[in-house]
Amino acid sequence: MRTWPVIGTIAKRELAAYFESPVAYVFLVVFLLLSGFFTFSLGGFFELGEASLNSFFTWMPWLFLFLVPAVGMRLWSEERRLGTIELLLTMPVLPWQAIVAKYLASWAFLAIALALTFPVVITVNWLGDPDNGVIVAGYVGSLLLAGTFLAIASLTSALTRNQVIAFILALMLCLLLILVGFAPVTTMLSRFADIWLVDTVASFSVLTHFEGFQKGVLDTRDLLFFFSVIAFSLFTTGVVLRSHRAG
């Protein structure tokens, strides 16, 4: 069977499933409200007095920390709980194709959510004269960040039939990936560890790699980091799913 039509069919079904339940709309509203609140209120968009979306993107990792695991938690745990995984994997499709298809559908859903924040871009362009290249880079970085967290959520949702457990596990792993590069944590670490060690640990953080995008720099090392975490998580998802069936 050709790979892409099958992936397309599964992804289409998966994406439609998001919009067939009210959860999708709740998610979108919460995401848009929170991103607005963080940008304008906590981020001090107006007080900064500069035409940039810095306050918008700075909060993205923290927002995604809660919202992306919420999107990804049902990926495989629901299939296993309802037994539909048996249906899906006995159709002419290879497990990796199903994993990639479901992942891409959820990623597309997050991309839609991100795209719906376009009013902030319009606002900042209306108020001043921002560097739109930096804004595009920020969006690319946000999308990659969301994809990374989502791949981790895919892995934790394969581990358990319980969506709540999948959510919490994903949240904890994502939090770890943030904290190892979070300034207060790295400052604290540097008090009793050598600087090279702190830097090595921080290089595993999504924050470290997200920073470049915020400044408008597309670095291959950052891209490589995000894509390798995604690839590793999806590969492990496959291993976990197989181990359930192998007995």
Partner 1 sequence: MIKVENLSKTFGSKRAVDDVSFEVRKGEVLGFLGPNGAGKSTTMRMITGFYPATAGKVSVCGFDVSENPIAAKVKMGYLPEAAPSYQEMTVLSFLNFAAEMRGLRGEDRRKAVRRVVETCHLDMVLGQTIDTLSKGFKHRTCLAQSIIHDPEVLVLDEPTDGLDPNQKHEVRTLIKRMGETKAIIFSTHILEEVEAVCSRAIIIDRGRVVADGTPAELKARSARAGAVLVTLHGASVEAVKEKLSGIAALHHADVCPAPEGRVTVEAFPSPDAGAERDALAGRIAEMAIRESWKIEQLKTEEGRLEEVFRSITMPDTQLVKGAA
Residue 119 structure tokens: 């009013």
Asked whether position 240 contacts partner 1 by CB under 8 A, the answer is no
Asked whether position 239 contacts partner 1 by CB under 8 A, the answer is no
Please select the residue that binds partner 1; options are 41, 84, 187, 228, rule is CB under 8 A: 84
Please select the residue that binds partner 1; options are 28, 34, 89, 175, rule is CB under 8 A: 89
Q: Percent helix, strand, coil in the chain (nearest 5)?
A: 85, 0, 15
Please select the residue that binds partner 1; options are 93, 168, 172, 201, rule is CB under 8 A: 93
46-50, long-range: CB < 8 A, 24+ apart: 50/128
Nearer to partner 1, 53 or 75 (CB): 75
128 φψ region: left (φ > 0), alpha (ψ -120 to 50), beta (else): beta
Q: How far is the CB of 91 from partner 1 (least distance, A)?
A: 5
Asked whether position 6 contacts partner 1 by CB under 8 A, the answer is yes
Q: How many residues form the binding site for partner 1 (CB under 8 A)?
A: 25
17 φψ region: left (φ > 0), alpha (ψ -120 to 50), beta (else): alpha
Nearer to partner 1, 92 or 184 (CB): 92
1 Cβ neighbours under 8 A, 6+ residues apart: 92, 93
Q: Quick one: which segment of 76-84, 132-140, 156-164, 222-230 binds partner 1 (CB under 8 A)?
A: 76-84
Q: Which of 25, 207, 2, 51 is nearest to 116 (CA)?
A: 25
Q: Quick one: which segment of 31-39, 82-90, 129-137, 194-202 binds partner 1 (CB under 8 A)?
A: 82-90
Q: Which residue type sits at 244? A: H
CA 81 from centroid of its chain's CA atoms: 24
Q: How far is the CB of 123 from partner 1 (least distance, A)?
A: 36
Does the CA dihedral 134-135-137-141 come out positive or negative?
positive
SS3 of 50, please? coil
Residue 195, phi then psi, degrees to nearest 5:
-65, -35
Asked whether position 86 contacts partner 1 by CB under 8 A, the answer is yes
Q: How far apart are CA 65 and CA 62, in angstroms?
A: 5
Q: How far is the CB of 166 from partner 1 (least distance, A)?
A: 18
Asked whether position 241 contacts partner 1 by CB under 8 A, the answer is no
Asked whether position 175 contacts partner 1 by CB under 8 A, the answer is no
Contacts with partner 1, 12-51, as mask; x by CB under 8 A: -x--xx--xx------------------------------
Which residues lie near partner 1 (CB under 8 A)? 1, 5-6, 9-10, 13, 16-17, 20-21, 82-84, 86-87, 89-94, 242, 245-247
